[in-house]
C-alpha cells in the first residue's frame, strides 16, 4: 500500500459525509486507543480571546470593600442598607475586608453602591 500524503488524506476526508467522518474517527480511536479530545485542547487558546471580548461587554459587576477607613460604623450602616445582612454579619464583612459587598449587579447599581460606601469613608473597588 502506498503511503498517502497529508494533502491526499485531506482530499479523501473532504469527500466524506459527516456521518462517514464520524464513523472513521470512532474506528480510528478504537484502533489506536486514543481519543479525539486533544482536538478540543487545540481550540483552547482561542477561548481567552473570546473571554477578552466578553470583558469589554461586561454587564455584571462586583462591589468589593477594600477597607472601612476611619468611619467603620458608618460603613457598616451602608453595608446593611445595600444588603440584607444583619448587624453582626455586616460588621463581620467590614472587619474581614477585602470582601465583596454586592456580586453580579448592574453597572449603575455597582456605581451607586460604590459611591455610597466611599461617602461613608470606605475604600471600594468595582470589578
What is the value of pTM for the model shown?
Answer: 0.51
Alpha-carbon gap, residue 99 to 93, rounded angstroms: 7
Alpha-carbon gap, residue 111 to 108, rounded angstroms: 5
Q: Which residue has the higher pLDDT, 18 or 55?
A: 18
pLDDT band at 16 (very low <50, low <70, confident <90, very high): confident
Q: What is the per-residue pLDDT for 25? A: 83
The yes-or-no verdict on residue 75 having pLDDT over 50 is: yes
Q: What is the per-residue pLDDT for 41? A: 45
User: Quick one: average pLDDT of 78-92?
Assistant: 87
Q: What is the DSSP string of 60-96?
A: -EEEEEEE--S-HHHHHHHHHHHS---HHHHHHHHHT
Alpha-carbon gap, residue 77 to 117, rounded angstroms: 9
User: Quick one: average pLDDT of 61-79?
Assistant: 86
Query: 33-68 pLDDT, tens per residue?
Result: 887 654 444 444 545 555 555 445 677 888 888 888
Amino acid at each position: 500500500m502506498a503511503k498517502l500524503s497529508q494533502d491526499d488524506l485531506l482530499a479523501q476526508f473532504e469527500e466524506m459525509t459527516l456521518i462517514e467522518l464520524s464513523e472513521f474517527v470512532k474506528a480510528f480511536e478504537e484502533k489506536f486507543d486514543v481519543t479525539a479530545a486533544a482536538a478540543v485542547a487545540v481550540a483552547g487558546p482561542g477561548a481567552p480571546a473570546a473571554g477578552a471580548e466578553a470583558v469589554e461587554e461586561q454587564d455584571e459587576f462586583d462591589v468589593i470593600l477594600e477597607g472601612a477607613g476611619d468611619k467603620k460604623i458608618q460603613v457598616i450602616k451602608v453595608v446593611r442598607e445595600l444588603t440584607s445582612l444583619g448587624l453582626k454579619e455586616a460588621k463581620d464583612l467590614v472587619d474581614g475586608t477585602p470582601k465583596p459587598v454586592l456580586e453580579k449587579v448592574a453597572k449603575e447599581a455597582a456605581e451607586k453602591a460604590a459611591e455610597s460606601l466611599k461617602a461613608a469613608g470606605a475604600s471600594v473597588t468595582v470589578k
